[in-house]
Amino acid sequence: MNASGTLGYSNEIESLWKIETLGAYVTKGLSLQPHHGNPTPRIWDERHGMINSIGLQNMGLDRFFSEHFPFFRKKKTPIIINFFGFTEEEYMAFAAKVKPDRLIVALEMNLSCPNIKAGGISFGKDPQMVFEIVKKVKAVTQIPLIAKLTPEVKNIVDIGRAAFEAGADGLTLINTMPAAIVEMKKKRVAIKGGLSGPVLKPIALRAVHECSKAVPIPIIGVGGIMNADDVISFILAGASAVQIGSATFVDPYTIPKAILGIGVYLDKNGYGGIQEITGITHE
Amino acid sequence: MDDFEAKIIENRNIVSNYFLMELKLSKPMGMIRPGQFIMLKVRDGDIFLRRPFSIYDFSKGTITIVYRVVGKGTLTLSEAGKNEKTLVLGPLGNGFSITKRDAYIVITGGIGVAGVHLLIKSLKNKACVFYGCSSKEELRVIDDIARFNPAVATLDGSEGFKGDVVTLFRKQKKALEGKNVEVFTCGPESMIKSVRKEIENIKTPCQVLVEERMACGLGLCFGCAVKTIDEKEPYKRACKEGPVFDLWQISL
């Protein structure tokens, strides 16, 4: 699947490849109310990755459902709805509003947002806060719930465990890493935002490896995947599925190419499916 | 639209930090409209994302861009040699739309000409072109459109009008009063702001080609935001809803 926010709202990629290619489509981060997002610059190249500061721009849940959901219905492509909020109530109200539908295979909670009622600390940084919000959201929805975790924490295993104990059905590891760019010539900070791309891959691999040993729920690996070999590495580390994000900007065919490459790897090595190699690095 | 394998057949320095690159594509790109752009892969190494460039010109199976070295991406690009292989995603975005008018005014400056060159060519002699740059030397960037007799302004006065291009336009705009004209512009934001001021009271129709940092070029990431007057959804994507916008719809 794609990583949230890297494949438009719905059909943008269709001039190059069919959306049905994906195992599931992950929506752009959605919220109850629309968000305008940040002024530019929103993007910066960073040698082995990039920084983005889109500011969670989105049209809101209602418009997404009226304007874009019919596309997935027509295509019969399963979707995962990524969402965020700034209070527990916003997360709960969002989750409660999404009606179960066989096409909506999961809700993916972005836990990197600041909790404005707790002094602005990210929900995802504190195990207790993660436990509480996951438990509350889980209580208001029948749809499987995935917690997407920030890597900017003391111990991601503690966070993953808290999400699991609160009832999360899966984890997505990891979100972008907070980062900044300094422009030497202009003597200023050019951008602050989330770092993604290959620079993040080893950090994500470690998070996937450790959390998959600690919790018995499926893990979606994401961070710096550029090709099928990277996908296989994440599966070996313990991921049951992966998401591809920034790589699509470098080569818009990355996802279909990786899918083909995974098949070639499995065939060549005599495996019947990725489940046979998920987490085999644990021994 | 597709991602084409391409080979650099020319990459020459026009003058100062302006370059022209011609690329031979593995197959013809198909229909290209003035104002559309490509996402060009820059040699691997220090550069992660592709870079957006207006399609300056094309022929069957080739694409030409004109660019100015402004940062690491364009610097690396300027060092690329003949026969080097790369990738070209395009044609992207919405180009200019041309409707029947009494006159077409093109106001551009510096590297902005790269965005309107195809437009000027397709309007042939019907375009009234205003070009501004810093000095006579830099005018070599528009050698290719000299046959359309552009009115030129140089900041140092070494050729044409001494001053900025919008002031030059102001001196001649009286002749357009009462006519059904449309303005097309591409260039530095300060120039676009002046153009806007110049035609504000008469609200002349005006299409502006904007430049913005981009990651995907396909409308996937919402990185290339352009602020508009749409209160419901102010930020539009330069790559998808643009890069050509109605000047009166964007907020500068």
Q: pLDDT tens track of chain A, all 283 residues? A: 999 999 999 999 999 999 999 999 999 999 999 999 999 999 999 999 999 999 999 999 999 999 999 999 999 999 999 999 999 999 999 999 999 999 999 999 999 988 888 888 899 999 999 999 999 999 999 999 999 999 999 999 999 999 999 999 999 999 999 999 999 999 999 999 999 999 999 999 999 999 999 999 999 999 999 999 999 999 999 999 999 999 999 999 999 999 999 999 999 999 999 999 999 999 7
Domain boundaries, chain B: 2-92, 96-205, 210-252
CATH assignment of B2-92? 2.40.30.10
What confidence tier does B183 reach under pLDDT thresholds 50, 70, 90? Answer: very high
**Mean confidence (pLDDT) of chain B:** 95
Give CA separation, B12 vs A182, B53, B56, B67, B118, in Å.
31, 16, 14, 10, 19
DSSP A58: B
Domain covering B210-252, topology: Dihydroorotate dehydrogenase B (pyrk subunit); domain 3 (2.10.240)
Which helix H or strand E contains B194, and what residues bound it? Answer: helix B189-199
Token duo for residue A153: 């924490």
Q: Kindly report whether the peptide bond that precedes residue B150 is cis, defined as omega within 30 degrees of 0.
A: no
B115-143 confidence digits (pLDDT tens): 999 999 999 889 999 999 999 999 999 99
Give the nearest partner residue to A36 out of B220, B223, B234, using CB atoms. Answer: B234
Domains of chain A plus CATH, in order, are 12-40+54-180+198-282 (3.20.20.70)
Q: Is B87 in CB contact (< 8 Å) with chain A?
A: yes
Question: Are B72 and A36 an interchain contact pair (Cβ–Cβ within 8 Å)?
Answer: no
B60-82 confidence digits (pLDDT tens): 999 999 999 999 999 999 999 99
Q: State the nearest Cα–Cα gap between B85 and chain A, in angstroms.
A: 15
Q: How far is CA A92 from the centre of its chain?
A: 19
CA distance B131 to B133: 7
CB atoms within 10 A of CB B70: 10
Q: Please give the single-letter amino acid code of residue A64.
A: F
- pTM for the structure as a whole: 0.95
Helix axes A228-237, A201-214, angle to 10 degrees: 30
Q: State the nearest Cα–Cα gap between A253 and chain B, in angstroms.
A: 9
Q: What ipTM, to 2 d.p.?
A: 0.95
Q: Is B172 in CB contact (< 8 Å) with chain A?
A: no
Question: Are A42 and B213 an interchain contact pair (Cβ–Cβ within 8 Å)?
Answer: yes
Q: Is B218 in CB contact (< 8 Å) with chain A?
A: yes
CA distance B127 to A275: 63
Residue B1 DSSP SS3: coil
CA distance A277 to B17: 53
pLDDT of A199: 97
Question: Are B218 and A48 an interchain contact pair (Cβ–Cβ within 8 Å)?
Answer: no
Q: Span B10-14, mean pLDDT? A: 97
DSSP structure string for B119-167: HHHHHGGGEEEEEEESSGGGGGGGGGGGGG--EEEETT-SSSEES-HHH
pLDDT exceeds 90 at position B92: yes
Domain covering B96-205, topology: Rossmann fold (3.40.50)
Closest to B37 in 3D by CA, of B56, B61, B50, B53: B53
Residues of A at the B interface, defined by Cβ within 8 angstroms = 5-8, 12-13, 15-16, 28, 34, 36-50, 52, 54, 57, 59, 197, 246, 248-253
A90-113 confidence digits (pLDDT tens): 999 999 999 999 999 999 999 998
CB atoms within 10 A of CB B219: 20
C-beta of residue A250 within 8 angstroms of C-beta of residue A226: yes
